[in-house]
Amino acid sequence: MRNVYVDRTVINNTTVINNRASFNGPGGIMAQPTAQERAFEHEQHFQPTGNQMAHLQNAAQDRNQFASFNHGRPAVASMDTVNGHRFTPEARMANQQQRIAQGISHGQLSPGQAANLERREQHINQQIHNDRQANGGRLSQQERRQVNHEQNRASQRIEEDRHHNR
């Protein structure tokens, strides 16, 4: 008796050439700007507004905006207001931080006053963080009212300390 093994496997070595280049440059698409696009390139551009620069500076100083800190998931991913409407708690926090910084730079706040105000702001920020974490990233109406009340009190304290230099 004899056993015979027959291997009928067929191997085709083929090279696929993809002619669908999707990049600009040698070997790809040779795209050039149109005359209208060239005109846009040379038109007058405007400097950022003061509000845009403030947003930039606040984002640059907020560790929560750093990808290394938030792992690509910022708490605030867009502007907080449109034409001055609807301040979120985080926007108010940034505004109040800016007011404290201005008070320090203008000599209106002593180091002790500034530290006290910063602690109050940090407490409110931690409360917002904890409430959002407990509710899937959102604040309930009651939590929103409570945070708003605390931010109003903190805002009044900033105003008092800045203008009544104790």
Report the alpha-carbon distance of residue 86 to residue 4 in Å, rounded.
82
Q: Looking at the predicted structure, is the pLDDT value of residue 112 above 80?
A: yes
User: What pTM was estimated for this model as a whole?
Assistant: 0.47
| pLDDT given for residue 103 in this prediction | 83
**Residue among 56, 50, 126, 136 at smallest CA distance from 89:** 126
- Structural domain includes residue 134: yes
Our count of domains for the chain comes to 1
**Residue among 120, 119, 113 at smallest CA distance from 162:** 113
Q: Given pLDDT bands bounded at 50, 70 and 90, which one contains residue 11?
A: confident
- Structural domain includes residue 130: yes
Query: CB neighbours of 28 closer than 8 A, spacing ≥ 6?
Result: 21, 22
| Mean residue pLDDT across the chain | 79
Q: Given pLDDT bands bounded at 50, 70 and 90, which one contains residue 17?
A: low
- Structural domain includes residue 159: yes
Range of the domain at 140: 112-166
- Structural domain includes residue 136: yes
For 85, the 3-state DSSP assignment is strand
- Structural domain includes residue 165: yes
- Structural domain includes residue 21: no
Q: Looking at the predicted structure, is the pLDDT value of residue 154 above 60?
A: yes
- 80 or 113, which is more confident? 113
